[in-house]
Structure 1
Amino acid sequence: MDRIVVLSGAGLSAEQGLGTFRDKGGLWRHYDLGDVATPQGFARDPDLVHRFYNARRANMRAAAPGAAHDALARLSQRPGITLVTQNVDDLLERAGARDVIHMHGELARALCHACGARWDAPARMAPTDPCPRCTARHTRPDVVWFGEIPHHMDRIEAALARADLFVSIGTSGTVYPAAGFVEMARTAGAQTLELNLEASGGRFDAIRKGPASQLVPNWVAEVLRQ
């Protein structure tokens, strides 16, 4: 398997204390998604949105990469590996992973809604923060909200079109366009593998069930031995 595309979702970081809006406990259950994860919610109450993402950013910075992140970082050193993540945390980078494609953006980055400038986000953002390029006070977290187009889709689709193996790790398989990646890979002739706590229902050639901290290091070790 020379060319491998890996898609990671929330299950990669869940054991590190970083959950998603599907969790019954945790940060998301205190908020309505329409208020904190849509452009419309940001337009209504930017202060609320910034408070929410400031809390998420603090949670991320308090977390540390786990065994699954470390394993993928080792894998990324090999030629032919494309790491795509739906996660907005930076745990893969902190583990040493190369060239991670963040299709849903990054908590550690800020975006100016007026001019499109991007920069490293401070620990706390506020509606009054000026853009460092155009000075507009319309800055936001550089994350993809519901109703927005994910980043780097051309690059991701090109990698899927030439992949020998597509691996999905810890993702529910319900959010498009990522939910369609397995079919893109299959159409291109790639083998497909899912590593997840429970099967997502996607048409994978093989499925291994369990926590990412166990499945991912074992699978990476197999690949690196080949």
Structure 2
Amino acid sequence: MVFDHLAELARSARRITVLTGAGVSTESGVPDFRSPGSPWLVHKPIGYAEFLSGAEVRAEAWRRKFAMDDIYRDARPNRAHAALARLDGLGRLVAVVTQNIDGLHAAAGLAPSRLVELHGNGTYAHCLTCGQHFELATVRRHLEATGCALDCACGGFIKSATVAFGQTLPTATLQRAVAAAKGCDLFVAVGSSLVVRPAATLPQIAQAHGAVLVILNREATPLDPAADHLFRCDAGDGLLALLDGVAATAG
């Protein structure tokens, strides 16, 4: 069976890094970006340079953000998120590096020390100047009452704590992701299209440092030819098999 082979790979691994993409959260009702008819294409995120260009643009960015939030406001962690949280408890997880901004890995109980949110987190906001934390409800109340984006008391712009198109990834976050790729003997990319850089570079960084590369995805990715093992499966099925393999040799 295909999942027996995946479980066997997990049994022999001692240091596992997992890269997760949108396919990990679709089972929770969070739409991915590239599927035909995706609401992300209707409420297309505004790029970083444009966000900074004017107050009206920032207000529109927030309107689109809240429209998307309403679509998946009831999303809860699914079996894939739960499997990774349980894997952490077995002592072989180096890190989960995620491209997702939905906060569901943390909601499933994955330890912050094991979680690298490469593209940030969409469940709160912060000031781009002073870094002050803002709850989304505060930003939304102001937008709906005034039609304008809320600015910080320091005069800085308040933005969702995600990395927008054209915005530089925080150096420390990228360094953690690269270190996780270099520090594993099994690298599992799951539910990711593997087209967005720098996330798409991590699997090959891991391979270059001796890791076995496993890709779990329902659709083809550009890195499929480079994979040591390729599985066409749902994220939940694949990660549960990975967990079963590790659990079989735990303790």
TM-score, scaled relative to structure 2: 0.81
> Hey, what does 1:12 align to over in structure 2?
24
Task: State, as a whole percentage, how many aligned pairs show the same letter.
Answer: 31
> Hey, what does 1:111 align to over in structure 2?
126
Structure 1 stretches of at least 4 aligned residues deviating more than 6 Å after TM superposition: none
Residue segments in structure 1 that go unaligned for 5+ positions in a row:
none
Larger radius of gyration: 2
The answer (yes or no) to whether the contact 1:57–1:123 under 8 Å persists in 2 is: no
> 1:13 is matched by which residue type in structure 2?
S
Q: Residue deviations 1:44-67, cap 9 Å, x none?
A: 411110011112233343111111
Deviation at 1:76, TM superposition (A): 1.9
Of residues 143, 148, 173, the one that matches 2:162 is 143
Query: 1:205 and 1:95 mapped to 2: Cα distance?
Result: 29
> Hey, what does 2:8 align to over in structure 1?
none
Give aligned pairs, total.
221
The answer (yes or no) to whether the contact 2:24–2:81 under 8 Å persists in 1 is: yes
> 2:177 is matched by which residue type in structure 1?
I
Query: 2:37 and 2:239 mapped to 1: Cα distance?
Result: 25
The answer (yes or no) to whether the contact 2:139–2:150 under 8 Å persists in 1 is: no
Query: 2:119 and 2:241 mapped to 1: Cα distance?
Result: 27
Residue 92 of structure 1 aligns to a residue whose secondary structure is helix
> Hey, what does 2:232 align to over in structure 1?
209
Of residues 17, 36, 46, the one that matches 1:37 is 46
> Hey, what does 2:7 align to over in structure 1?
none
Query: 1:137 and 1:113 mapped to 2: Cα distance?
Result: 6
Q: Residue deviations 1:76-132, cap 9 Å, x none?
A: 22334111100000111222112221110111121212223334433753444243x
> Hey, what does 1:183 align to over in structure 2?
204
Query: 1:119 and 1:158 mapped to 2: Cα distance?
Result: 30
Deviation at 1:138, TM superposition (A): 1.5
Tell me which protein shows more helix as a share of its residues. 2
Bigger drift between 168-177 and 109-118 goes to 109-118
Higher relative contact order (CA 8 A, sep 6+): 2
Deviation at 1:199, TM superposition (A): 3.0
> Hey, what does 1:174 align to over in structure 2?
195
> Hey, what does 1:71 align to over in structure 2?
83
Q: CA RMSD in A?
A: 1.9
The answer (yes or no) to whether the contact 2:124–2:134 under 8 Å persists in 1 is: yes
The answer (yes or no) to whether the contact 2:195–2:222 under 8 Å persists in 1 is: no
> Hey, what does 1:194 align to over in structure 2?
215
The answer (yes or no) to whether the contact 1:128–1:137 under 8 Å persists in 2 is: no
Deviation at 1:135, TM superposition (A): 3.9
Query: 1:60 and 1:95 mapped to 2: Cα distance?
Result: 16
Query: 1:208 and 1:158 mapped to 2: Cα distance?
Result: 25
Residue segments in structure 2 that go unaligned for 5+ positions in a row:
1-12
The answer (yes or no) to whether the contact 2:190–2:235 under 8 Å persists in 1 is: yes
Please state if 1:86 is matched with 2:99.
yes
